Amino acid sequence: MAKKTEALRLRETQHPVLLEVNTRVLLSELSAASGSTVTLGDVPEEILDEWSALGIDAVWLMGVWTTGELGRQLALDHPGMMDEYRKALPDVTPDDVVGSPYAVQEYRVATPLGGGHALRSLRMRLARRGIGVILDYVCNHTARDHKWVKQHPEYYINCDATAGAAPMQDAFSVTTAQGERWIAHGRDPMFPKWTDTAQLNPRSKVARAAMIAQLTKVAGMCDGVRCDMAMLLLSDVFARTWGTLGLPADEDSAGGEFWKEAIAEVQKTKPDFLFIAEAYWDRQWDLQQLGFHYTYDKTLYDRLLREGAAAVRDHLKAELAYQRRSLRFLENHDEERAARLLPSEPWQFAAASVVATVPGMCLLHEGQMDGRTVRIPVQLRRRPDEAPAPRVRAFYTELLKTIDHPVFKKGEWRLLSVRAAWHDNYTWQNFLSYWWDEPLHGDRLVVINYAPHSGQCYVDLPLDLIEGALLEFRDLLGGSMYVRERAALQAKGMYFDLPAYGIHIFEVTEAHK
């Protein structure tokens, strides 16, 4: 890589913003608009400048790896999938179906996207803006037509059809270098098998070595990886999923946790390389202890959508070390669009404000700030046109500008105590409030009424962190400004009366008479 003209912001903040881009859709749209093929190396400068202006610290290029024709055909032939495609894209054609990006045939940038040279070019241009590149590593499985399936079937979970070790409907037959084999499909034990995949076996010493070598290769192409369904490779999860199936003899067995070994191996040569885990089932802390820098926070997502402020506040009481290593989101390619699930703009804006202003990594999904409502199946490379949503874009632009500041990027966060404004007024329970402090760059106060009706409360402020007999509160989103006496704030706290889903993000400074 060429020398970077700016340090990657990703490495200099505890509160990075990650933008997920559906690479195949983006390049298809750019190609259609230009009338010629646009590759990763051709992404216009104005798009990269826009990402930089928004304060994006890293871009997750989802869907860059080579997927085979078998995966595409299985995506076309899968029962019911065509109905899902039509639901998202009514005029879908077979040409729009390119197969799942999570059935990887080879960790080589797909030729239609420009190959490895195009990725290197884009990465250099992003690095000049201080923006890092995150790519996917699919740890649990490969495509069925990955070269290992025929050359090294011992890397996979093999099923014995005669012994009935596993249901044959969960496996596929293939002629390999070692003869006819039944190889299990990749699976999450909570859902049906993924029929376009082959299940890897990290309990095997030779398979684990090959998987780590593959990960090391990927690490040479980017600044971090988002590890797909990372909790599936935890030893106890894998054992519950597969039992004794594929369990090697002692001399061939890989001991210890896969992720601890894999992360340590990559960091021997790339100590700053970033690991992000897609993780569920409350296994996030376990993965953090094995070396992951960030883990998906599905709990916050669910509570914002379904449980309300009290549940969100309880979740934010978790240990700060855990909070700082949580990836917060309101959308990603697996979830429905926020604009569909939260059809009220004030509700969506309040939820987005929580995601953006609590500790950890903030994930922004491409199209989220345009108010898109249609979630596209990952097997498609085209999406429908949707009307622009200028108010949504204006809000996200202002929110991202607000958090692109050293107070949020490097400061310390604390959850604040909220109290009733008066007896029998229970609306205080709908408030979320917290404080950010960075000694060289100031203080921020966030207050959100996370409810569909107005509410009132008092917030106890950490006045030990700021000096002055008079304090000025300037709202960075709404533009309003308040001056309060320190003595009154010490005696009663700060009073708030906010409308439904009302938001304040204050810059707090000493006021001068």
What average pLDDT does this structure show over 352-363? 98
**Whole-number pLDDT of residue 194:** 93
> Could you give the percent of the chain with pLDDT greater than 90?
89
* Max Cα distance, the chain (Å): 87
Are 2 and 125 within 8 A, CB to CB? no
- When pLDDT is cut at 50, 70 and 90, the band that residue 249 belongs to is confident
Q: How far apart are CA 331 and CA 371, in angstroms?
A: 11
**Whole-number pLDDT of residue 40:** 98
**Whole-number pLDDT of residue 7:** 79
120-129, 147-156, 247-256, 275-284: lowest mean pLDDT where?
Answer: 247-256
**Whole-number pLDDT of residue 6:** 63
**Whole-number pLDDT of residue 448:** 98
Q: How far apart are CA 226 and CA 367, in angstroms?
A: 20
Residue 400 has pLDDT above 50, yes or no: yes
CB under 8 Å to 281, separation ≥6 — which residues? 231, 237
**Whole-number pLDDT of residue 3:** 40
**Whole-number pLDDT of residue 478:** 85
> Could you give the percent of the chain with pLDDT greater than 70?
97
Asked, for residue 479, whether it belongs to a domain, the answer is yes
Return the H-helix or E-strand segment holding 448: strand 442-449
Asked, for residue 222, whether it belongs to a domain, the answer is no
Are 349 and 504 within 8 A, CB to CB? no
**Whole-number pLDDT of residue 164:** 45
Q: How far apart are CA 487 and CA 38, in angstroms?
A: 62
Asked, for residue 95, whether it belongs to a domain, the answer is no
Q: How far apart are CA 256 and CA 156, in angstroms?
A: 18
Reference 124, options 226, 221, 20; nearest CA is: 221
Q: How far apart are CA 492 and CA 487, in angstroms?
A: 9
What average pLDDT does this structure show over 400-408? 97
Q: In what order do the strands lie in the sheet with 179-184?
A: 158-159, 179-184, 171-176
Residue 251 has pLDDT above 80, yes or no: no
**Whole-number pLDDT of residue 165:** 47
CB under 8 Å to 435, separation ≥6 — which residues? 413, 414, 416, 443, 444, 445, 446, 461, 462, 465
Asked, for residue 91, whether it belongs to a domain, the answer is no
Residue 211 Cα distances to 140, 215, 274, 358, 391, angstroms: 10, 6, 18, 34, 46
Q: How far apart are CA 102 and CA 88, in angstroms?
A: 19
- When pLDDT is cut at 50, 70 and 90, the band that residue 1 belongs to is very low
Question: The domain spanning residue 479 has which CATH number?
Answer: 2.60.40.1180
Are 41 and 79 within 8 A, CB to CB? no
Q: How far apart are CA 235 and CA 262, in angstroms?
A: 14
Q: How far apart are CA 130 and CA 54, in angstroms?
A: 12
Where among 176, 199, 222 does a domain terminate? 199
Which residue is associated with the tokens 């996979």? 156
Give tens-digit pLDDT for 108-155. Answer: 999 999 999 999 999 999 999 999 999 999 999 999 999 999 999 999
Asked, for residue 427, whether it belongs to a domain, the answer is yes
∠ Cα 280 281 284 (to 5°): 60
Where among 173, 199, 225 does a domain terminate? 199
The neighbour count for residue 512, using CB atoms within 10 Å, is: 9
Helix (H, G, I), strand (E, B) or coil at 303: helix
Give tens-digit pLDDT for 293-309. Answer: 999 999 999 999 999 99
Strands 418-420, 58-62: pairing is unpaired
Asked, for residue 157, whether it belongs to a domain, the answer is yes
**Whole-number pLDDT of residue 167:** 55
Residue 248 has pLDDT above 90, yes or no: no
Asked, for residue 460, whether it belongs to a domain, the answer is yes
Please give the DSSP secondary-structure letter assigned to residue 378.
Answer: T
Give tens-digit pLDDT for 168-215. Answer: 678 999 999 999 999 999 999 888 899 999 999 999 999 999 999 999
Q: How far apart are CA 448 and CA 505, in angstroms?
A: 9
**Per residue in 146-179, is it b (16+ CB within 10 Å) or e — as a string?**
bebbeebbbbbbbbeeeeebbeeebbbebebeee
Q: How far apart are CA 459 and CA 471, in angstroms?
A: 15
- When pLDDT is cut at 50, 70 and 90, the band that residue 2 belongs to is very low
Compute the mean pLDDT over every residue in the chain, rounded to the nearest whole number: 94
Asked, for residue 448, whether it belongs to a domain, the answer is yes
Residue 513 has pLDDT above 70, yes or no: no
Per the structure, the complete domain to which residue 181 belongs is given by 144-199
Where among 136, 165, 199 does a domain terminate? 199
Domain count along the chain: 2
Residue 94 has pLDDT above 90, yes or no: yes
- When pLDDT is cut at 50, 70 and 90, the band that residue 5 belongs to is very low
Residue 245 has pLDDT above 90, yes or no: no
